[in-house]
C-alpha cells in the first residue's frame, strides 16, 4: 500500500514524464494522447467536485463540456471569418486568444450550471441523475439543429488558438498549458476540500439535517459546488475543442457525460487524483485495446467489470487503500 | 417574571386520523432543564420536529425569545439559536470527530463561503472545536473516524457540535441513549452545569438522569401532556402512574 | 389539418408510448424492487430483437420469434443478474452505473461479433400486415393496432400480477422495505432473479415487436433506454401505473410535438425556418417535459414522496 | 499485473515502428465498430481488394477505427500525420468526421482521397488542391433523384430528411433539380426510428410522390413502416437506403423502389464485372456501393503512384487529376474542384433468387458535376 499523497505525486510526475520522453524521441502523437488524457482528467476533476464532495451524481456534465467547447468554437469561428458574434445590442467580436476564450467558457458554463443546478437540486437521488441527463440532452439536440454553427457537422477551427508567448501548435507547448491548468485545478480542489466550504459540503452530502441544524444551507452549498464543478468542466471543454481544433454535438452527448463519470468511478470517487488516474487509464485502454481487435469494446467492458468487482473505491482505492481521514 | 426562551402554544399535528401532538404548550425558562418523558409513540419526536422546524404544525405557534418562528424552517431556527442534538446520530460518519465539531464552529461564524484556507489552519475555529470536544470528554478522539466511535461517544459528539453553536436553547433528543451507566453519569454531571449557559429541553428515556437533572418534567402520552411539574410532583402523580404502569400492572 | 389526421397522430403517439411502456415497466420494477440502475436494459431489448430475427429467419414463424425473443432476453437477464448484478445490490449507484455500462459494451460488440455489422431482417407476418379502415375512414396499419392491444394486455396483466398474486405482494413489499421481506421469510435472491427475468422478457418482447417495423441493428437499444428512463422518472420510479402514464405522455409528446410544433411555428415564421426550428424544439420536447415534471414534482407523478 | 505488461508491450511496439523512408504509406481512418460499421468495413474491403490485386508491394496501409466519433477521428489523423508519417489519407465515411479531419490534413500538406463523404463546404470555397473526392459531392444523388422525379413527371412531391446539415443539403439537392410543387417538407429527428407520424402526414398531403433521405437504420424503419401503411405513392431516394448491405434487412418493403446511384453491380464494363466477381470470391458477399468506392479510390491512388511519389506533390497531384484508371463506373473524370463528373443512374430494387438487389433502369443525370464547383479556386 502506498500513501495516497505519494501516489498522487507519482501519477502527476509520470503524466509529465511520458510526453517529455515523447518529445525527445519524436513521438508527437504520444504527446497528443497525453494531452487528451489530461483534458479528460480536468473535466472529471470538475465533476468530482460535485460528485465526490457534494454527492451530486450528475449525468449531464457533457452540457458544460460542450458549452466550453462551443464557446471556443463560436469565438474562434467568428475570428477566422472576420465576422462579429453579434452586433446588437452591442458589438462582440470573435477572438483567437486562449485566455479570453477560457474566461468566456468558464463564465457561460458557470451560468448554465447555476440555472441547471437551481432546478435540478429540487430533486435528489436517481431523479437528480435523470434530470441532469435531460438537461444534457436538451443541449445535445439543440446543438444538432443549430445550423448557424454547423449543426451535427460541428465547427472546424483551422489553426489552434493563441496563448501569449507560446507557439500552441507545438504539441508539447499545448500539453504544458493543459497540464499546468490541471495541476492548478487539482491544487484548488485540494484546498477546497480542506476549506470550511469543503468541510460543510462534505457534511451536506453525508448528513444534510446536521448541516441545517448548525445553521448552514445544504442546498446552497451543493449549488455552489455544482457551479464550481460546471466551470471546471467547461474549461476542459474549451481545451478539448482546441486540442481537436473542432467542436461538434458529440461533446454534448450522454455518452460523453457517462465517460466523464466513468473516469471518476474507474479512478476512485472522491479521491483527489481518482479522476486523473481514471482518465489516463481509459485513454490508454481506448488506444491500446483498439489496436488488438475490431471487437475491443468487449475487452474494455470486461476490464471495467473487473474494476467494479475487485477494486471498490476505484484504482486509487486499490493501490492506496481506504481513505485515511485527513489529519 | 422572566420571559421563556422557548415556548410552544397549543401545537397540533395529525397524520391522517392519528393525532401526533394534541394541543401542546410547553415552555423553557432561562437556567432550567425541562424534561419531556413519555412512552414510545407518545409524539416526542413529532414535537421536537415541530420545535426545530422539520415539521409544520397544523395549528399553534412556536416562539423563540418571544418571536414567533412557526413559519420558519430548520435553518432559520438554528441560526436564531436552537441547538439540537439528534436521537439517531446525524453526523458525517466518514469524517473525523474533529471535522464534525469544526462544522459546528463554521456554522457559528455563519458563513461557509471560505474556499481556499484550510479549516485546520484557522486557529479560532480550531480552538472553538477543541474546546467543545474537551468539554464533552472527547479530546482524545479528535482524529478518530466518526463511524468508529461507540454509540455513546456519538451522543457526546452530538452534544459537542451543539456546544460550538453557543445556542440560546438546547433541544436534546435522548442524549443518554446507549451511554451505559458510567457515561450516563458523566454526561449527567456535564448537563447539570450546562443549564447555566442555556436552558435545555431534554427528551429522555433514562429516568435516573431525568430525575437527577430536571427542574420540571412534562409527561407526554398519546400526543397530550398529561402532567407538568417538579420531580416530586411527577413521582407522586396518579395520572402518570396510570399512564406508565397501567398497561403493565 | 383535418380531424382524421389528428386522431391518427394521437393513435401513433399512443402506440409508441405503449411500446415504451414495455421497456419502462421492467426498468421501473427492477429499480423499485432492487434499487438498481440498469443501463443494460437496452441491450436486453436488442437481444430480443436479434433473437426474433434469427428465429423468424429459421422457422418463418412470427409467434415463435416472439417467444424466442422473450426467452432469450429472460435468459440473458437471469445470467446478468446472477453473474454480475447480484454482487452490486449492496453498492452505491455509481458502481452499478459503471458495471451496467460495461455490460452494454459487452452485449453490443458481442452481438456484432455473432451477427455481423449489418442490420438483420425481421418483418411483420402477412396476417398482421397492411392497413385497416377504422370508423371515420381512418386508414391505419393493422400491426400498430395489434401493438397497442398487446401493450394494453401486458399492462393489465402486470397490474393483476402486482395487485392480486403472491409474487406481486412480495414485489410491493420489496419496494417498500427490503429488510422486511427478508424477515418474512421470502427467498429474496429468488425474487430478485424472477423480477429481473420478468423485466428482461418484457424488454425482449418490446424489441421483437418494434424490430418488425424498425431496423434490427446493434445499438438499437440505447435511444430506447434513454426514453425509458425519461418515462420512469416522469411516472415516478417503482410505479407501474406511473410507467404507463409516463410512457403515454412521452409517446404523445414526442409524436404530436414533431407534427404540430413546426405547424405552430409557421404561424409566425417563414416556412423553412419554422420547419427546422420547430423540429429542433420537438426533439427537445420530451426532455423539457421531464424537466418540467420534476421541477413541479421532484419524485415524478406517482413516485413515493420523501 | 497482466494489464500493465500488456500496455508496456504495446507501448514498445509503438516505439519500434518508425517512419518508413521508401514506399508509400496510406492512412485509412474509417468506421469499423459500433453502429454504421458496415459502411467502413465495405470501404476498407473494397480498398484492400484493389491493393491486393495490384502488383505493387510497396504500399503500406495503416487502418484505424474512428468509432464514428469526430474527436477520435481528429486524434487518429494527428497520429497518422505526426507519428505514422503517412503520405496519403483516405477512408472517412461521415461528413461531420470529414469536416473535422480533411481541412487540417490538407493544410498540413497531405493528400486526401475521399471514398465517401463529400460535404458541400469542401466542394466550393473550402476546396483544396490536395483533396480529391472519388465518390460524389453529397448533393449529387439527391439531385439525381430530383431530376428523375422531374423526368418521370411528378408534380407534387412530399420530401423528408433528418434535421442535420446533410439532411438539409439533401432536400436542397432534390429541389435544385425538381421543379414541381411540394406537398410537404419535413425534417425528422436524427436517429428517429418511428415514422408513423410522418407517414400519416404523407397520406393526408395529397402528394403524388415521396422523396426521402434517411441513412442507415432510419431508412430501414421508414421503408418497412411505409410499406405496411397502405400508402402506395411512388418513392424515390438516394442509394444509401437501398444498398446491398441493408437491402436484405428491408426485404420486400423495398421492392420496386427507385433509387439513384453512380454505381451498380450491373454496370457493363470489364472492370466492374471483375470487381463484383473477385469481391464476392474474397469476402463471400455481394459488393456494395461503398465497396465500389473503396475499390475505385485505391485504383486511382495506384494509377497516380505509377507516375509519381506523393513527395513530388505537384506531379502526384497532376497524376491524380488525370484519373487514368479503370473505374467500376466506366468513364470517370474529375471536375475543376476535384469532385467526380459522372453519370448517375436510376436503379430499381429487384429480387434475384433470394437476394434483394438493384437493377439500372436509366440514367438520371448525365456527366453530372456539382453546384459548388464554380466557387472553387485553388
Distance CA B44, CA D270 (A): 95
C303 in any annotated domain: no
How many angstroms separate the Cα of C6 from the Cα of each of A198, C3, C148? Answer: 55, 5, 17
Distance CA D196, CA C16 (A): 9
D349 in any annotated domain: yes
Lowest-pLDDT range of C72-81, C142-151, C195-204, D62-71: D62-71
Nearest to C214 by CA among D192, D200, D351: D192
How many angstroms separate the Cα of C305 from the Cα of each of B20, B143, C294? Answer: 20, 38, 12
Query: Residue A31 in 3-state DSSP?
Result: helix
CB A209 within 8 A of CB B90: yes
Q: Write the pLDDT tens digit of every residue in D269-318.
A: 999 999 999 999 999 999 999 999 999 999 999 999 999 999 999 999 99
Residues D257 and D236 in one domain: yes
Distance CA C80, CA A209 (A): 38
Distance CA C122, CA C119 (A): 9
Which residue range forms the structural domain that includes residue B141? 91-166
Measured from the Cβ of residue A83, the count of other Cβ atoms closer than 10 Å reads 12
C-alpha cell at A175: 500539453
Residues D347 and D239 in one domain: yes
Query: Residue B19 in 3-state DSSP?
Result: strand
D12 in any annotated domain: no
Nearest to C12 by CA among D363, D351, A106, D196: D196
Return the domain boundaries, chain A.
4-320
C263 in any annotated domain: yes
A144 touches chain C (CB under 8 A): yes
D8 in any annotated domain: no
Residue D35 pLDDT > 80, yes or no? no
DSSP, res D241:
G
List, as one string, the DSSP characters of A221-264: HHHHHHHHHHHHHHHHHHHHHHHHTEE-GGGGSHHHHHHHHHHH
Distance of CA C257 to the CA centre of its chain: 20
What CATH number is associated with residue C211? Answer: 1.10.3470
C244 touches chain A (CB under 8 A): no
CA terminus-to-terminus distance, chain B: 42
What CATH number is associated with residue D180? Answer: 3.40.50.2300
DSSP, res D108:
T
Give A-chain residues touching D70 at CB under 8 angstroms.
Answer: 154, 244, 246, 248, 250
pLDDT at B90: 84
Domain count, chain D: 2
B102 touches chain A (CB under 8 A): yes
Residue D228 pLDDT > 80, yes or no? yes
Q: Which of A127, A209, A310 to mutate to test the interface with C (most CBs of C within 10 A)?
A: A127
Bond into A89 cis (ω within 30) = yes
Q: Is the pTM of this model over 0.90?
A: no
Residues B175 and B154 in one domain: no
C-alpha cell at B32: 432550567
Residues B145 and B29 in one domain: no
* pLDDT bucket at A327, cuts 50 / 70 / 90: very low
List, as one string, the DSSP characters of A254-309: HHHHHHHHHHHHHH-TT-TTHHHHHHHHHHHHHHHHHTT-TTHHHHHHHHHHHHHH
Closest residue in chain B to residue A191, using alpha carbons only: B116
Average per-residue pLDDT in chain B? 88
Closest residue in chain A to residue B164, using alpha carbons only: A214
CB A154 within 8 A of CB D69: no
- Who has greater pLDDT, A207 or C33? A207
Residue B29 pLDDT > 80, yes or no? yes
> Nearest Cβ partner of D224 from C1, C118, C214?
C214
Query: Residue B4 in 3-state DSSP?
Result: coil
Strands (E), chain A: 84-86, 92-93, 155-156, 246-247
Assign residue D358 a region (left: φ > 0; alpha: ψ between -120 and 50; beta: otherwise). beta
CB D29 within 8 A of CB D76: yes
Answer whether B112 sits within 8 Å of A210, measured CB to CB: no
Query: Rg of the Cα trace of chain C?
Result: 20
Distance CA B234, CA A253 (A): 68
Q: Is C7 exposed, middle or buried (0-12, 13-18, 19+ CB in 10 A)?
A: middle
D88 touches chain C (CB under 8 A): no
Q: φ and ψ at B20, to 5 degrees?
A: -80, -40
pLDDT at C162: 85
Query: Rg of the Cα trace of chain A?
Result: 20
Torsion angle (degrees, nearest 10) of CA D312, D318, D324, D325: 50
Residues B4 and B69 in one domain: yes
C209 in any annotated domain: yes
Residues D190 and D292 in one domain: no
Distance CA A178, CA D345 (A): 52
Q: What is the mean pLDDT of residues D2-7?
A: 41
Q: Write the pLDDT tens digit of every residue in B164-173.
A: 999 999 999 9
C301 in any annotated domain: no
- D230-255 burial code (b ≥16 CB/10 A, e <16): bbebbbbbbbbbbbbbbbbbbbebbe
Chains A and B touch (3+ CB pairs under 8 A): yes
Residues D216 and D356 in one domain: yes
Residue D219 pLDDT > 70, yes or no? yes
Query: Residue D195 in 3-state DSSP?
Result: coil
- Who has greater pLDDT, D245 or C196? C196
Distance of CA B121 to the CA centre of its chain: 31
Q: What is the mean pLDDT of residues B186-195?
A: 88
Residues D150 and D253 in one domain: yes
Residues B51 and B172 in one domain: yes
Helical spans, DSSP H, in D188-251: 196-205, 217-229, 244-250
Within 29-58 of B, beta carbons closer than 8 Å to A belong to: 52, 54
Q: Write the pLDDT tens digit of every residue in A155-187.
A: 888 888 999 999 998 889 999 999 999 999 999
D14 in any annotated domain: no
User: What sign does the dihedral A67-A70-A74-A79 (CA atoms) show?
Assistant: positive
Which residue range forms the structural domain that includes residue C269? 3-296
* pLDDT bucket at D1, cuts 50 / 70 / 90: very low
Nearest to D295 by CA among D267, D316, D274, D322: D274
C191 in any annotated domain: yes
Domain count, chain C: 1
pLDDT at D138: 92
B86 in any annotated domain: no
Distance CA C121, CA C215 (A): 8
Residues D248 and D283 in one domain: no
pLDDT at C265: 87
CATH top-level class of A4-320:
mainly alpha
Domain count, chain B: 2
B71 in any annotated domain: yes
* pLDDT bucket at C278, cuts 50 / 70 / 90: confident
**Pairing state of beta strands D181-188 and C138-141?**
unpaired
CB C298 within 8 A of CB A124: yes
C275 touches chain A (CB under 8 A): no
Which residue range forms the structural domain that includes residue D234? 140-261+343-374
Residues B145 and B186 in one domain: no
* pLDDT bucket at A325, cuts 50 / 70 / 90: very low
> Nearest Cβ partner of D7 from A145, A284, A296?
A284
| Of the residues B131, B166, B201, the one at which a domain ends | B166
C133 touches chain D (CB under 8 A): no
Query: Residue B169 in 3-state DSSP?
Result: strand
Distance of CA D130 to the CA centre of its chain: 19
Residues D246 and D316 in one domain: no
Distance CA D339, CA D370 (A): 8
Residues B156 and B216 in one domain: no
Distance CA D329, CA D333 (A): 11
Residues D252 and D363 in one domain: yes
C142 in any annotated domain: yes
Residue C304 pLDDT > 80, yes or no? no
C259 in any annotated domain: yes
C305 in any annotated domain: no
Q: What is the mean pLDDT of residues D225-247?
A: 90
DSSP, res B54:
S
Give the residue carrying C-alpha cell 446472477.
C82
pLDDT at D300: 96
What CATH number is associated with residue B45? Answer: 3.40.50.300
CA distance A135 to chain D (A): 18
Amino acid at each position: 500500500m502506498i500513501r495516497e499523497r505519494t501516489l498522487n505525486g507519482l501519477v502527476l510526475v509520470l503524466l509529465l514524464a511520458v510526453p517529455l520522453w515523447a518529445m525527445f524521441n519524436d513521438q508527437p502523437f504520444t504527446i497528443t494522447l497525453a494531452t487528451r488524457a489530461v483534458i479528460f482528467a480536468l473535466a472529471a476533476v470538475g465533476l468530482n467536485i460535485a460528485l465526490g464532495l457534494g454527492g451530486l451524481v450528475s449525468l449531464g456534465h457533457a452540457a458544460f463540456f460542450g458549452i466550453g467547447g462551443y464557446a471556443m468554437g463560436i469565438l474562434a469561428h467568428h475570428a477566422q471569418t472576420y465576422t462579429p458574434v453579434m452586433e446588437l445590442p452591442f458589438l462582440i467580436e470573435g477572438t483567437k486568444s486562449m485566455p479570453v476564450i477560457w474566461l468566456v467558457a468558464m463564465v457561460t458554463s458557470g451560468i448554465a450550471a447555476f440555472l441547471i443546478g437551481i432546478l435540478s437540486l429540487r430533486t435528489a437521488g436517481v431523479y437528480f441523475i435523470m434530470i441532469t441527463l435531460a438537461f444534457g440532452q436538451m443541449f445535445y439536440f439543440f446543438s444538432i439543429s443549430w445550423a448557424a454553427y454547423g449543426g451535427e457537422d460541428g465547427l472546424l477551427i483551422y489553426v489552434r488558438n493563441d496563448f501569449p508567448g507560446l507557439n500552441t501548435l507545438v504539441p508539447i507547448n499545448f500539453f504544458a498549458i493543459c497540464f499546468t491548468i490541471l495541476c492548478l485545478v487539482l491544487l484548488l480542489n485540494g484546498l477546497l476540500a480542506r476549506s470550511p466550504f469543503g468541510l460543510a459540503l462534505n457534511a451536506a452530502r453525508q448528513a444534510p439535517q446536521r448541516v441545517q441544524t448548525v445553521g448552514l444551507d445544504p442546498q446552497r452549498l451543493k449549488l455552489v459546488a455544482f457551479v464550481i464543478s460546471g466551470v471546471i468542466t467547461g474549461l476542459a471543454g474549451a481545451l478539448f475543442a482546441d486540442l481537436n481544433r473542432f467542436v461538434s454535438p458529440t461533446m454534448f452527448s450522454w455518452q460523453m457525460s457517462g465517460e466523464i463519470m466513468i473516469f471518476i468511478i474507474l479512478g476512485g470517487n472522491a479521491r483527489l487524483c481518482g479522476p486523473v488516474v481514471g482518465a489516463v487509464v481509459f485513454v490508454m485502454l481506448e488506444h491500446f485495446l483498439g489496436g488488438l481487435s475490431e471487437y475491443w469494446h468487449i475487452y474494455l467492458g470486461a476490464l471495467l467489470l473487473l474494476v467494479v468487482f475487485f477494486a471498490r473505491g476505484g484504482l486509487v482505492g486499490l493501490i492506496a487503500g481506504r481513505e485515511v481521514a485527513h489529519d | 417574571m422572566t420571559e421563556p426562551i422557548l415556548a410552544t402554544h397549543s401545537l397540533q399535528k395529525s397524520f391522517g386520523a392519528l393525532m401526533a401532538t394534541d394541543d401542546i404548550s410547553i415552555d423553557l425558562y432561562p437556567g432550567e432543564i425541562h424534561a419531556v418523558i413519555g412512552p414510545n409513540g407518545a409524539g416526542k419526536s413529532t414535537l421536537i420536529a415541530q420545535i426545530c422546524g422539520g415539521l409544520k404544525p397544523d395549528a399553534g405557534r412556536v416562539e423563540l425569545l418571544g418571536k414567533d418562528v412557526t413559519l420558519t424552517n430548520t435553518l432559520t431556527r438554528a441560526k436564531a439559536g436552537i441547538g439540537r442534538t439528534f436521537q439517531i446520530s446525524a453526523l458525517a460518519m466518514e469524517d473525523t470527530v474533529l471535522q464534525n465539531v469544526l462544522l459546528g464552529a463554521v456554522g457559528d461564524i455563519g458563513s461557509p463561503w471560505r474556499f481556499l484556507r484550510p479549516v485546520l489552519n484557522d486557529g479560532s475555529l480550531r480552538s472553538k472545536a477543541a474546546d467543545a470536544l474537551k468539554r464533552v470528554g472527547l479530546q482524545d478522539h479528535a482524529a478518530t473516524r466518526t463511524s468508529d466511535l461507540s454509540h455513546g461517544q456519538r451522543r457526546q459528539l452530538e452534544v459537542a457540535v451543539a456546544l460550538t453553536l453557543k445556542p440560546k436553547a438546547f433541544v436534546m433528543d435522548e442524549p443518554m441513549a446507549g451511554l451505559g451507566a458510567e457515561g450516563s453519569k458523566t454526561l449527567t454531571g456535564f448537563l447539570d452545569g450546562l443549564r447555566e449557559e442555556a436552558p435545555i429541553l431534554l427528551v429522555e428515556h433514562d429516568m435516573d438522569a431525568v430525575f437527577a437533572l430536571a427542574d420540571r418534567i412534562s409527561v407526554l402520552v398519546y400526543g397530550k401532556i398529561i402532567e407538568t411539574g417538579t420531580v416530586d410532583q411527577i413521582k407522586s402523580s396518579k395520572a402518570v402512574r396510570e399512564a406508565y404502569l397501567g398497561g403493565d400492572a | 389539418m383535418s380531424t382524421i389526421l389528428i386522431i391518427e397522430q394521437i393513435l401513433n403517439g399512443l402506440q409508441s408510448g405503449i411500446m415504451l411502456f414495455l421497456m419502462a415497466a421492467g426498468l421501473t420494477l427492477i429499480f423499485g424492487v432492487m434499487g438498481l440502475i440498469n443501463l443494460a436494459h437496452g441491450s436486453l431489448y436488442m437481444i430480443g430483437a436479434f433473437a426474433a430475427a434469427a428465429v423468424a429467419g429459421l422457422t418463418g414463424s412470427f409467434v415463435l420469434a416472439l417467444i424466442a425473443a422473450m426467452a432469450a432476453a429472460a435468459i440473458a437477464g437471469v445470467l446478468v443478474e446472477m453473474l454480475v448484478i447480484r454482487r452490486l445490490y449492496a453498492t452505491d449507484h455509481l458502481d452499478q452505473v459503471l458495471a451496467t455500462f460495461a455490460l452494454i459494451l459487452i452485449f453490443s460488440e458481442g452481438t456484432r461479433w455473432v451477427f455481423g455489422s449489418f442490420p438483420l431482417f425481421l418483418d411483420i407476418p402477412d396476417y398482421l400486415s397492411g392497413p385497416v379502415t377504422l370508423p371515420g375512414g381512418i386508414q391505419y396499419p393493422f400491426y400498430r393496432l395489434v401493438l397497442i392491444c398487446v401493450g394494453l394486455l401486458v399492462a393489465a396483466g402486470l397490474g393483476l400480477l402486482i395487485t392480486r398474486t403472491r409474487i406481486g405482494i412480495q414485489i410491493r413489499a420489496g419496494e417498500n422495505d427490503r429488510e422486511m421481506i427478508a424477515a418474512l421469510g421470502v427467498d429474496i435472491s429468488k425474487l430478485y432473479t424472477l423480477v429481473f427475468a420478468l423485466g428482461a422478457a418484457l424488454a425482449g418482447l418490446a424489441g421483437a415487436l418494434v424490430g418488425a417495423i424498425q431496423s434490427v441493428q446493434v445499438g438499437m437499444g440505447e435511444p430506447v433506454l434513454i426514453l425509458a428512463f425519461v418515462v420512469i422518472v416522469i411516472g415516478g420510479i417503482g410505479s407501474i401505473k406511473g410507467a404507463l402514464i409516463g410512457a403515454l405522455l412521452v409517446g404523445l409528446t414526442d409524436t404530436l410535438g414533431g407534427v404540430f410544433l413546426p405547424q405552430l411555428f409557421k404561424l409566425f415564421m417563414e416556412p423553412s425556418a419554422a420547419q427546422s426550428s420547430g423540429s429542433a424544439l420537438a426533439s427537445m420536447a420530451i426532455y423539457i417535459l421531464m424537466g418540467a415534471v420534476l421541477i413541479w414534482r421532484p419524485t415524478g407523478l406517482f413516485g413515493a414522496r420523501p | 499485473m497482466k494489464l500493465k505488461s500488456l500496455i508496456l508491450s504495446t507501448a514498445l511496439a509503438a516505439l519500434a515502428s518508425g517512419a518508413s523512408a521508401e514506399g508509400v504509406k496510406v492512412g485509412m481512418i474509417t468506421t469499423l465498430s459500433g453502429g454504421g460499421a458496415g459502411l467502413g468495413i465495405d470501404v476498407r474491403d473494397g480498398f484492400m481488394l484493389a491493393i491486393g490485386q495490384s502488383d505493387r508491394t510497396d504500399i503500406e496501409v495503416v487502418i484505424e477505427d474512428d468509432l464514428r466519433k469526430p474527436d477520435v477521428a481528429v486524434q487518429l489523423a494527428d497520429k497518422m500525420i505526426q507519428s505514422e508519417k503517412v503520405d496519403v489519407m483516405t477512408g472517412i465515411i461521415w461528413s461531420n468526421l470529414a469536416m473535422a479531419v480533411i481541412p487540417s490534413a490538407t493544410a498540413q500538406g497531405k493528400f486526401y482521397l475521399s471514398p465517401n463523404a463529400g460535404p458541400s463546404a469542401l466542394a466550393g470555397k473550402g476546396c483544396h488542391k490536395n483533396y480529391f473526392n472519388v465518390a460524389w459531392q453529397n448533393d449529387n444523388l439527391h439531385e439525381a433523384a430530383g431530376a428523375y422525379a422531374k423526368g418521370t413527371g411528378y408534380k407534387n412531391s412530399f420530401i423528408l430528411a433528418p434535421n442535420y446539415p446533410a439532411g438539409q443539403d439533401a432536400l436542397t439537392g432534390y429541389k435544385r433539380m425538381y421543379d414541381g410543387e411540394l406537398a410537404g417538407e419535413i425534417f425528422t429527428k436524427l436517429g428517429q426510428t418511428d415514422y408513423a407520424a410522418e407517414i400519416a402526414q404523407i397520406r393526408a398531403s395529397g402528394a403524388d410522390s415521396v422523396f426521402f433521405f434517411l441513412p442507415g437504420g432510419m431508412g430501414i424503419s421508414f421503408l418497412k413502416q411505409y410499406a405496411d401503411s397502405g400508402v402506395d405513392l411512388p418513392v424515390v431516394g438516394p442509394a444509401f437506403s437501398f444498398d446491398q448491405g441493408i437491402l436484405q434487412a428491408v426485404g420486400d418493403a423495398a421492392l420496386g423502389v427507385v433509387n439513384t446511384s453512380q454505381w451498380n453491380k450491373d454496370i457493363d464494363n470489364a472492370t466492374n464485372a471483375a470487381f463484383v466477381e473477385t469481391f464476392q470470391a474474397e469476402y463471400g458477399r455481394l459488393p456494395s456501393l461503398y465497396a465500389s468506392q473503396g475499390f475505385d479510390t485505391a485504383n486511382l491512388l495506384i494509377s497516380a503512384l505509377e507516375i509519381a511519389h506523393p513527395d513530388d506533390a505537384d506531379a502526384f497531384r497532376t497524376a491524380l487529376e488525370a484519373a487514368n484508371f479503370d473505374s467500376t463506373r466506366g468513364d470517370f473524370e474529375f471536375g475543376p474542384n476535384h469532385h467526380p463528373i459522372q453519370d448517375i443512374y436510376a436503379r430499381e430494387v429487384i429480387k434475384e433468387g433470394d437476394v434483394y438487389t438493384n437493377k439500372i433502369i436509366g440514367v438520371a443525370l448525365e456527366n453530372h458535376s456539382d453546384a459548388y464547383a464554380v466557387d472553387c479556386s485553388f
